[in-house]
Amino acid sequence: MTKQTGGKRWGRKATGESAQVRDGRPRRSRRNTFREDEDLEEQINFSDIKRIGVYLKPYLKQGAVILAAVLSMSAIAVAIPYLTKTMIDTVIPSKDPVKLFTLGGVFLVAIVVYELLLRYRTVAITRVGQLMLKDMRRDLFTHIQTLPFSYFDSRPHGKILIRVVNYVNTLSDTLSSGLINVIADIFTFLLTLIVMFLIDWRLTLWSLVLMPLLVVYVLFLQHFQRRAYQRLSNKQSNLNAYIHESIAGVKTTQTFVREREQFQTFQEQQGQVRKYWMKAVHIQYLMWPGVQNISTITIALIYYLGITGMGGVQVTTGMLIAFVGYANNFWNPIINIGNFYNQLITCSAYLERIFETLDVRPEIEDKPGAVELPPIKGRVDFNDVVFKYEPDGRNILNLVDFHVPAGSTVALVGPTGAGKTTIVNLLSRFYDVSEGSVCVDGYDVRDVTLSSLRRQMGVMLQDTFIFTGNVRENIRYGRLDATDEEIVEAAKAVHAHEFIMELPQGYDTKVEERGSTLSAGQRQLIAFSRVLLADPRILILDEATSSIDTRTEEALQAGLAHLLKGRTSFVIAHRLSTIEHSDQIFYIDHGQIIEHGTHEELLAKKGAYYRLHESQYAMIKTANGEEG
């Protein structure tokens, strides 16, 4: 039944420390708390920015229409100064009212069309941007559902939550307006430059004299700005993680009267957010004044050259006014492009976190060629199983070997940390073995699809989870097509029906998040009903009755007797009274099965199980004596 010899010290990693190689550089999410900052990349990863294109692709047709409208606006913006030049230099001196009213009408139509296009652009770009954000948030949420338990164990849940909500929201302006508008700004810039050269090439070259200064200024700022927003994203993540932890532990905080200490830690965390927010803002707002000052100096230079004629520049009044308008058209796109680059630098810090999450590969997934597990009978075989969490870590299970016939009930007992839960986690394939194999009806669990394996298993954990909704919906979660009659039948089988009917609206009673309005025992009974409703062939009960009082537990055992019959069941329990009638009892210690047999056989051996049984029996007698 068991083997207890040592095993080789190698295995597959099964933690959340997944490294992803991106552009030849490994990206690793290390374990951290709300007091620790996450790792930062030194340089902008432009592959992150390119990946936004994946979310733009489904909306290319809409984007093309929006771009056409935006380019039309740019063309109107370029035409207006030329029309102004024509009005001042030609139409007004000619004193021709027909030309004057005609050109005025052209002005009016151009402005109306421009405003209509502006409204369309604003609404359409916002719609496409929000659809892109929806797709990105969908991908994040869907991907997170596939990640292993170890991913969530290795980092605060608040740091995961902020990526799905806050960081995606931060991209809103960039995706809503930046991508298409920057194309239009580049078009406007080039078109304006061409017209300026056609009007006066000398004055145009003078207009570009400060351009190198602008390029140097922008490149100088971008490094500091990105680092500032990376640090800010870390502090926001830490604060979010702390708030999430504090809300989850508020009952403990109030029980030990630690509100003041919690508040002080909160103040420290939000103080860090404010500090780095202000640093980021100070750097960000150096961009706009710098570009604006260079623009103003350039326009002043144009006026000076136009008035003095220095450098061979000879212009009319209308040409000078038009040229100043073109200078604005020339510098406004540059300012907009600078602002977009500004946004891009800011967003790169958040994109880094978003795509880092999307790049974490599920450690447990269907291998190529995995087959559907057919309806099973429930035979389970552990064949010389060795398991370790880290490749160079210690063995959690060491050559565990046992074979359970279909329909048998097996109890796993032993001290905390002995490996009991690990055994059932390997059976459900929440982790993969390091050596050996786990088979169900002769199928290696690694060779079948996860969905077909887990559909035929029912797992009841000690830490039960109740979703927001009513009692009926929580039980139906085990099988979504179950009828109300089947739900009631499952609840009756585990003796949950009695307390459910005493609730204000019975099965329609609303329960709050995590079932906070129910007792621990009530939550477990509802979760038990949910598992049994799924009608699994293999049933796993991991300390499933730990929060149920003795009287309820006795009734529960009686109700479960016929349901366990014909199923393969693995029961982990510290109360030995709940597993006395098991077909086999495995006593596990230090990752090995050191004793196995029926309750009577193990008592007769007077080994580890016998000592555990006697210890519990003595405690019960002492408690009964004190109560008497």
List, for residues 176-192, the tens digit of each pLDDT value.
666 667 777 788 788 88
Q: Please name which of 145, 273, 144, 297 lies closest in space to residue 217, comparing C-alpha atoms.
A: 297
What pLDDT is stored for residue 523 in this prediction?
Answer: 83
What pLDDT is stored for residue 377 in this prediction?
Answer: 92
45-358 has CATH 1.20.1560.10 classification? yes
What pLDDT is stored for residue 448 in this prediction?
Answer: 95
What pLDDT is stored for residue 380 in this prediction?
Answer: 96
d(CA 283, CA 349): 15
What pLDDT is stored for residue 32 in this prediction?
Answer: 58
d(CA 530, CA 180): 50
d(CA 136, CA 145): 14
Output the six-digit token pair for 192.
């304006």
**Range 326-329, long-range pairs (CB < 8 A, 24+ positions):** 326/78, 326/81, 326/192, 326/195, 326/196, 326/199, 327/207, 327/295, 327/298, 327/299, 327/302, 328/295, 328/299, 329/77, 329/78, 329/81, 329/188, 329/192
pLDDT lower than 50: segments of the chain? 1-31, 42, 627-628
What pLDDT is stored for residue 12 in this prediction?
Answer: 31
- Listed by start position, the domains of the chain span 45-358, 462-535
d(CA 330, CA 323): 10
Q: Please name which of 111, 86, 79, 121 lies closest in space to residue 100, comparing C-alpha atoms.
A: 86
Task: Give the list of residues 6+ apart from residue 94 with CB closer than 8 angstroms, or none.
Answer: none
Q: Which CATH number applies to 462-535: 3.30.1360.30, 3.20.20.70, 3.90.1420.10, 3.40.50.300?
A: 3.40.50.300
